[in-house]
Structures are given as C-alpha cells and as structure tokens.
Chains A and B, each alone.
Chain A
Amino acid sequence: MDLGPFLLLATLEGLLMAAVLALTALGLSLVFGVLRIVNVAHGEFYMLGAVSAWWIASLVGQAGIASPAIAFLAALLLAPPIAGLVAFLAERLILRRLDYRPEPTIVATIGLLYMIQQGVLTLFGPDARPVQAPFDWRLDLYWFGWSGYKVAVILFAVMLLLFVRWVLTSTRAGLVMRATEIDTEMARAVGGIDTRRVYGAVFTLGAMLAAVAAVLIVPIQQAHYLMGLDPLLLSFIVVIVGGLGSLRGTLVAALLIGLSDGIVSVFFAPTLAKILATLLVALVLVFRPQGLFGEAPR
C-alpha cells in the first residue's frame, strides 16, 4: 500500500489534533500572558469540560430527548460554563489571596489539580464515558471515508480561534486584556483598569477555552478523569515552543505539533515520541527560552 493515503489520513488527524490543541493551549497561553502564572491545573479544566459534557448529555437523554444533536448542543453550551465556574472560584478564593506570586501559585494549582481530578473520580467513577457525536456524516475521500464530525470540529475550532483573535484585537475587552498583559502596573495606574477583575475574567476564559476543546473531542475520545494530563503536557509544549506570551507562536506551534504528532506516530512508538517531545521542551527552555516567537528573556 503506498504512503499517500496513509499520510493524508495522518495529516487530517493531525489537523484535528492541532485544532483542539490550539484552543487548549490558547487558554494556557492567555493565563500566562496576562496573569504571569503557570496553571498546572489547566488540564483538569479540560477534563471538567469533557466530563460535564457527558453529564449534561446523559441528563438530556434521561429527560426523554433522543436526539444526540440536541444533547451535544446542550453540552457545548453548558459544559464550558461549569468549568469556568470552578476556575472562577479557584481564582477568587485561592489565587487572588496568594497575590499571584509564582511559587505559591504553582503549588496551589498543583493542589487544585489533584482536588479537581480526584473530586471527579469520586463523583463520576473511574470508567470512561462516551458521548455520541451530534451527527453521523462521512466524507468520502476516495481511499477512505473520514468522519464529517471531525471536519466540523476543525472548522468550529478555527472559527472560535478567529473569534478570540477578533476579541483580543478589536474590542475594548480585548484591549483591556492586552494592556494588562503588557504592563499591569501601567494598566492599573494610567488606564484605570481594575486588573483584579481582568485576572478573574482571563483565568475563567482560559479554563473555558480548554473546556470547549474537550467538549469537541469527547464524541471522538470519551470522557475520563485522567484525560487532563496529556493535554496539559501538550499545551505546555505548544506554549513553550511557540513562545510564552505570543499568540501567533501558540497557533503555529499547535499546528506543527498537531501535524507532527500524527505523522510521527506513524513512524515512532507513541511513548518514544512523547519522550522526545518532553526533552524538546526542556532543551528549548534551557537554550532558547523565548521559543520560536516569544520575546527575548527578561
């Protein structure tokens, strides 16, 4: 069998992964850019999105509505706010009290990771839960058929990314966020911006982006309480390789890593690929801390 269709499939799957990864990593990147903190619990908000999606979809099913499309839509609308609420509370009750000092914040987000993860384990159990895709079309690509839902995911993710970009560059809210990102002190003193509210909003938004990504992926992957760890690691890789604080870098890196993961796993064992990826992150941080597009180190 020749390589062509193989690579096409790998590319399509890679694009799917890149799309979801871009959304997830964007959340992490925004939080780091504006709050200057690393949220180790970021993957758990992703997981919360997926698990909440399952919960809502099953509630819809129990209410007697048989349409998977409606269940999925409900999940897409309601699950991210659930994750957002948890994030909002965490920011208000914990992070704000720590003044966002880097070391205590990291320790607190590690604690948060375990609390969310194990909390979900207690409430939902250790099994993987499925959610049905909203529709069942297949795209006929001559050599193989590909899921139309996956195409929809890619398109939706792209639209959402463009929307976020529009918000950041063309709206007042976006301007406020970017001003706070560039110089918090100035934003507060000169711009009269309530930076604490901005922090809360950005942290919540970051969590919700990850949650949306998870809702999109859950009909393909199933929800599981440990599913946050891989996206966390991958988001880290994307944000660091792309350059902390660079939006464009995040997107380009997500594309690179999503695509290469698909292609690499054709040739390498997945664990070996992961080993190389983690070492790559470490070495980039040591030797080229600004990543591909980020600002030079302070």
Chain B
Amino acid sequence: MSGASPRSGVVAPLLHLAVPLAIAALYPFLSEYHQGNAARILVLAVFATGYNLLFGYTGLLSLGHALYLGAGLYGTGLAVTNLGLDPALAFLLGTGLAGLVSLVVGALALRTTGVAFMIVTMMFAQAGYLSILHWNRFTRGDEGFVIPSVRRVAGVALDLGDPDIRFAVALALYTLALGIAYGLVRGDIGRVWLALRDSEERVELLGHDPVRHKLLAFVVSGVMAGAAGGAYALLFGYVGASFATIQYSILALLWVLVGGAATVLGPLLGTALMFYLVDVVSGYTAAWLFVVGAVLVGLVLLAPRGLLGTLQYRYRWSWLP
C-alpha cells in the first residue's frame, strides 16, 4: 500500500503464509513454559489483529474493544456451563454475540468522530464491564468461573487440555484471522480503509460510502475480538471480568502500536513482545502496568509507527502490507 510497484504480488502472500508455518516449526523446540505462552499469545494476537483493522487501517481509535473480547468470553463460557452446549456451537454463539454487540455499538458510535468516538466506545465498554459485575448471579462477577476441561468438540474427541492440541487450535485460529485480515487489507476494502484514515471527505466524493466501510471495520474487529474471547474461554478454561476491563482495551491498542499499526503482522509481533516484557517485569514488581504506560508514552513520542510500521514506511516494503 505504500505506492511501490503493484507487481509485488508474490512476496507478500508467501511471507504471510510462512509466518504461521515458521511458528509451527519452532514449537517443538520450545520449553513447556514457552509453548503455553505461545498459545496464549496467538489467541490474544487474534484480538489485536482485528483491532488493527479498525485502528491501524481505518484510523478509528476505539477505547472499548474489551467489550467484544468479553462478549465472546462470556458468551462462549456461559453457553458451555449454563446451557450445556457443544463447545464448537458455544464458540460460534460467543463470536456471534460479540459481532452483534459490535454492530449495535458501532452503529451508534460511528455517528461521532475523534475524541467523542473514543469516549463513546469507552463508555459502552465500561457499561458492559459494570453489567458483568452487577448481574453476578449469572456471571459470577469479579471472581469469574472455571470451564471444565473440554474433551469433545463437535462430536470429535479433542482434548483442549492437552498443551499441544491447545497450541494447534490457537495457531489455526490465528492463521484464519491472519488470512482474513490479509485478504481484506490487500483488496479494495483495505484500500478504502486506508484512504478513510487520510481523508474521509475525499473518499466520500469518490463514490464510496464511508459509514458502511467504517462499520464493516468495526464489526470485523468485534467478531475477531469475540473469537479470541471464545477461544480463550475454551482453551484456558477461565472466564473472568478482568478481560472486560478498560485495561484490555488499552492492551489491544498497545500491542498494535508496538508491532506497527497498519501492518498485518504487526499485532502478532506487538502482542508477543509486550507479553514477554510484562512477564519479565512482573518478576520484579507488581507495578508492571507502569511499563505499559511508559511504553505507550515512549511509542507516541519516538516511534509512532511501531516496529514493522517504521520498516514499512522507511524502506517502502510493499510486501509488508
């Protein structure tokens, strides 16, 4: 998308396909601890990848995406424990719920722009979080609840408690998200998204409906967040209100900024880097959020394009869309 030759056709898709393959190849050589981290990072990276489509590409800073993560998490979790649904069905339900919520909130929030948009998205997310706390008869509130280990999915024996299987499922989900993001971004829709970031009026006066495009970005990012939430519930067995706090909304922003907004692979890189940074810092202090804050300030002052974003911009690597 940086204006270089359109004939960059082959390198970009190959590179993006290679990343999940490389991760899979690397997996057997990792210690158990890192293997578990890898699964977690991949699921969270799905959340970040979706968020990037809205923030990085379309330029809309939502401060309330934890709402959709939470919707997927609780939708799936409650469907399994309270409704006794098959995990696959519960996952679809959770993801669908997140999609629906993002559609409603998006339709309302997109009537505002700039600062108002940020606040509106934040407020809806806050209302969602508080609702989880308030109706704790159903949601178990702040404590959350545990999901019994999933052994069968859609009638097939699949032990999601097994770390290797867990990793495989997480990788598969991430690869799917990667594929969808890549396809959207490289196509006509992604081009309009990037153009919207520059000048909404110019887009409109070329015949493209800005609202429809923005809403699409909003809902796709909501669905991906929901999928990440649902997957997290099934793979790691815990559903809790902390995932719906503003902290997770900020983390999505952070992961995208670190890795590089408006690059498809940036969110994965950012999620992985920050995951480990926080991991290391937590060994020394309870105040790891301080590092989150410092990184945000540092990024905004010194490296607003993030890692891959700076590479993409400086060197005009068109194969890093």
Direct chain A–B contact by Cβ atoms under 8 Å: yes
Q: Which of B121-129, B149-157, B170-178, B229-237 contacts A (4 or more CB under 8 A)?
A: B121-129
Interface size class of A (residues with CB under 8 A): 35 or more
Taking CB atoms and an 8 Å cut-off, the chain B residues in 103-148 that contact chain A are: 108-109, 111-112, 114-116, 118-120, 123-124, 126-127, 130-131, 133-134
Taking a contact as CB atoms under 8 Å apart, the answer to whether A97 and B301 are in contact is: yes
Smallest CB–CB gap between A269 and chain B, Å? 7
Are A104 and B300 within 8 A (Cβ)? yes
Q: What's the dominant secondary structure at chain B's contact region?
A: helix
**B116 partner residues in chain A, CB cutoff 8 A:** 285, 289
Checking A98, A115, A271 against B134 with a beta-carbon cut-off of 8 angstroms, the contacting residue is A271
> Would A107 and B296 count as touching, CB distance under 8 A?
yes
Report chain A residues within 8 Å CB of B85.
Answer: none
What is the bound-complex CA distance between A104 and B59, given in angstroms? 12
- Chain B residues whose C-beta falls within 8 Å of the C-beta of A122 in the assembled complex: 285, 287, 290
Q: Once the chains are docked, how many angstroms separate the CA of A286 from the CA of B108?
A: 7
- The reply to whether the CB of B257 lies closer than 8 angstroms to some CB of chain A is yes
Q: Which chain B residues lie closer than 8 Å to A283 at the CB level?
A: 108
Taking a contact as CB atoms under 8 Å apart, the answer to whether B297 and A108 are in contact is: yes
Q: Give chain B residues whose Cβ lies under 8 Å from the Cβ of A279.
A: 123-124, 127
- Tell me the chain A residues, 241-284 only, with Cβ under 8 Å from chain B: 269, 271-272, 274-275, 278-279, 281-283
Q: Tell me which residues across on chain B come within 8 A of A106, comparing CB atoms.
A: 61, 63, 115, 118
The chain A residue with its CB closest to the CB of B136 is: A271
Chain A residues within an 8 Å CB radius of B250: 110, 114
Quick check: B115 and A282 within 8 Å, CB to CB? no
In the bound assembly, the distance between CA atoms of A102 and B118 in angstroms comes to: 11
- Choose from B126, B287, B290, B295 the contact partner of A278 (Cβ within 8 Å): B126
Residues of B near A275 (CB, < 8 A) are 127, 130-131, 134
Contact mask A127-165 → B, CB, 8 Å, 1/0? Answer: 000000000000000000000000000000000000000
* A274 / chain B contacts, CB cutoff of 8 Å: 130
Q: Is the Cβ of A107 less than 8 Å from the Cβ of B130?
A: no
Question: Hey, what's the 0/1 contact readout for A97-117 against B, CB within 8 Å counting as 1?
Answer: 110001110111011111111
A289 to B127, CA, bound (A): 19
What are 11 contact pairs spanning A and B, CB under 8 A? A94-B301, A111-B292, A114-B294, A119-B290, A122-B287, A274-B130, A278-B127, A285-B116, A285-B119, A286-B108, A287-B111
